[in-house]
Structure 1
């Protein structure tokens, strides 16, 4: 389908539409070997558009997947230590996906991977306060005083965390299980919050993010998000 050339340039991530229009006016954009005009349209499956001598590629189809990350994988695109990467678990998808946020090496659970930069910004920017829920197994008993501290915010490295939500607490003689919901995303935040109240995390699993949950998804498996799910995530304020 033919689109205005400035729109194609913007969709490819090279510039805003306004900047693309300036490039067209300055003669920096060619359509099938001739200078393009502001009203020109092109279909990149049949037309050749060049921007400053560089051929424009069709915008990559946006794909977002929900992965149930196992422990022992790192949430980056490469690792000097040659540890296993979460992208290996979605290698059969014909698109270059990147993790949205991170789960550390020993944390498991819900992780989104996508090639949608707008979605990644929406979910990781601090102003949007995206809620994330973790299932925590800790060494020690979680007391009502400790719960109060988490719900009021605790100090970690000269910073007081935002109030958290604690639910489904179960204590045994030496360990505790509980769900912790936070709306921040600082490095190793859940583990550091638990350390601050005297609970040592033994196991950590993210079970919810922005209204999504793992459902019955097996560890190490993924599913594609629907267009409706992605739209809801992009509406998070």
Structure 2
């Protein structure tokens, strides 16, 4: 591989366009994209790590997020080797209120990632919820997948249940469809439907396609409503359902492939070959290829262990005949039966 310093620090007299060309022509993926795919963080997080000098490749500290890697290099983040790339996975998590959705909090508040089960790999969230909000959060080990699901171009809607202090009508909520201006920035379409007015509180169903920080709260404030509870109930095709607070459940790989396979490549699941149970058809079939002498002396050649034996047991002299033959009584000696199936000496006309 070419020397990293030659790629990052071009010779004197090299123009900016030549510098970009030398970086883009190198084989592999950009380091920010690669580390996002293995779950280190989002591209923005990785770029910030590189600026802080926390990423090393083959022993040298990176200074540019445009540096490319093929995956064969020795990459360290915070002087620790990164984990091997795993297949994309995703989880549904019911975030309780009072947890921060970042990995670290400057104010020392407890984060959502500290509350996750200890057996989970390193994951990042798809979008965020503020401190006092609760409900569905999608978690994934693939940064590129998280980024793709957050983009408005994906077209996924996010649905919420909001409880707000104040009184409102459906006609007032319909004005939000055109969007509102918050701090000089217009929002997208906000679909709000009044569920019920319960005393001084209104329950409202809200649907967004491109949610910004505290957008629902600030949009409802324009209608003199104060949101005191906000629950995300779905993100795209994934529903909160009956998932309990603080619970985390992985989404099956085949479901991911059906729903987001067009966004990212998800390899097939490995099939597990199980041994057939004793006595099953598959187990019986194993014996058909064994030599005849291992199947028993009475077994016909080529039939196997489970074939019926052809040699019949000798009949006992004292064995009683069956009680019924073709549905008619056979008759005991001295009985009154007669006719075609009567024993010899007991037929009709015999004395």
State TM-score, norm by structure 1.
0.73
Displacement of 1:94: 3.7
CA shift, 1:93, in A, is 2.9
Tell me how far 1:132 sits from its aligned partner. 0.3
Which residue number corresponds to residue 132 of structure 2? 106
The residue that corresponds to 2:121 in the other structure is: 95
Where in structure 2 are there 5+ consecutive unaligned residues? Answer: 1-26, 36-57, 59-70, 264-351
Residue 121 of structure 1 deviates from its aligned partner by: 1.2
Residue number in structure 1 paired with 2:204 = 178
1:4-43 alignment to 2 at 5 Å?
A: 13=34
Q: Show the counterpart of 1:135.
A: 161
- Which segment drifts farther, 201-210 or 149-158? 149-158
* 1:113-166 superposed Cα distances (whole Å, 9 cap, x missing partner): 111122201111233232100100001112123211122212212222222222
**Residue 51 (structure 1) aligned with residue 77 (structure 2):** no
Alignment of 1:77-226 (within 5 A): 77-167=103-193, 169-226=195-252
Q: CA deviation at 1:221?
A: 0.7
1:52 Cα deviation (Å)? 6.8
Paired residues of 1:110 and 1:213 also in contact (CA < 8 A): yes
**What secondary structure is seen at the aligned counterpart in 2 of 1:134?**
strand
Q: Greater CA radius of gyration, 1 or 2?
A: 2
Residues 1:111 and 1:234: Cα distance change in structure 2 (over 3 Å): farther
Hey, what's the Cα distance between the residues in 2 that align with 1:211 and 1:58? 29
Distance (Å, rounded) in 2 between the aligned partners of 1:65 and 1:192: 29
Question: Which structure has the highest strand share of the two?
Answer: 1
The Cα shift of 1:180 comes to 0.2
Describe the superposition over 1:63-98 as per-residue Cα deviations: whole angstroms up to 9, x where unpaired. 311111000100000112111111123242341111
- Count of residues in correspondence between the two structures: 199
Work out whether residues 137 and 203 of structure 1, in 8 Å CA contact, stay in contact via their aligned partners in 2: yes
Alpha-carbon shift at residue 58 of structure 1 (Å): 3.1
Could you tell me whether the CA contact under 8 Å between 1:69 and 1:219 is conserved in 2?
Answer: yes
> Measured at CA, do residues 143 and 51 of structure 1 come closer, stay the same or move farther in structure 2, by a change above 3 Å?
same
- Are 1:122 and 1:234, in contact at CA under 8 Å, matched by a contact in 2? no
Contact 1:108-1:204 at 8 Å conserved across structures: yes
Q: Which has the higher contact order (CA 8 A, sep 6+)?
A: 1
The 8 Å contact of residues 136 and 233 in structure 2, kept in 1 or not, is answered as: yes
| SS at 2:254 equivalent | helix
CA 1:119–1:56 in 2, change beyond 3 Å: closer, same or farther? closer
Structure-2 separation of matches of 1:110 and 1:234: 21
Q: Contact 2:159/2:208 (CA < 8 Å) preserved in 1?
A: yes
CA deviations on 1:28-63 (whole Å, 9 max, x unpaired) are x9xxxxxxxxxxxxxxxxxxx953798896313433
- Normalised by the size of structure 2, how large is the TM-score? 0.51
- Judged with a 3 Å threshold, the aligned counterparts in structure 2 of structure 1 residues 172 and 77 are, in CA distance, closer, same or farther, namely same
Contact 1:100–1:113, Cα closer than 8 Å, also in 2: yes
